[in-house]
Amino acid sequence: MSTTRRSRPALIALAALGAAGCLALAWWQWTRFESASGTFVNLGYALQWPLFAGFVVYAYYKFVRYEEAPPEPKRHDEITEIPAGLLPERPTAATRPDDDPVLSEYNAYLADLAKEDKERPTT
């Protein structure tokens, strides 16, 4: 008998106590809702607490299932591939054609300005 099997009654008691506590809080919120000072917030909590109790039972069920058949451990020496198309494509810079007349004219203008700056005497 494994050590986890020996502690099972304690876990059952803990799960039952947690679920019963959640249901008791649901009943308390329901009585607060029905009282003269009750609001719809109390009704919301009265409807939420049974869901919490269900989660306690579900968590215990999953714990027992993992205890009996644990999931396969992931291998850390394998490389995980990202499927193509999962991530957005990296944007690329827009390319301008080299034969653009406006761009050539502007570059010639800048070259003339640079030539004039070099020819101008400095004082």
At 19-42, the pLDDT tens digits run 999 999 999 999 999 999 989 999
| pLDDT score for 76 | 80
| Interatomic CA distance for residues 51 and 30, integer angstroms | 14
Stretch (H or E) spanning 119: helix 101-119
Higher pLDDT, 119 or 111: 111
Q: What is the mean pLDDT of the chain?
A: 87
Mean pLDDT score, 86-104: 83
59-19-9 Cα angle (round to 5): 70
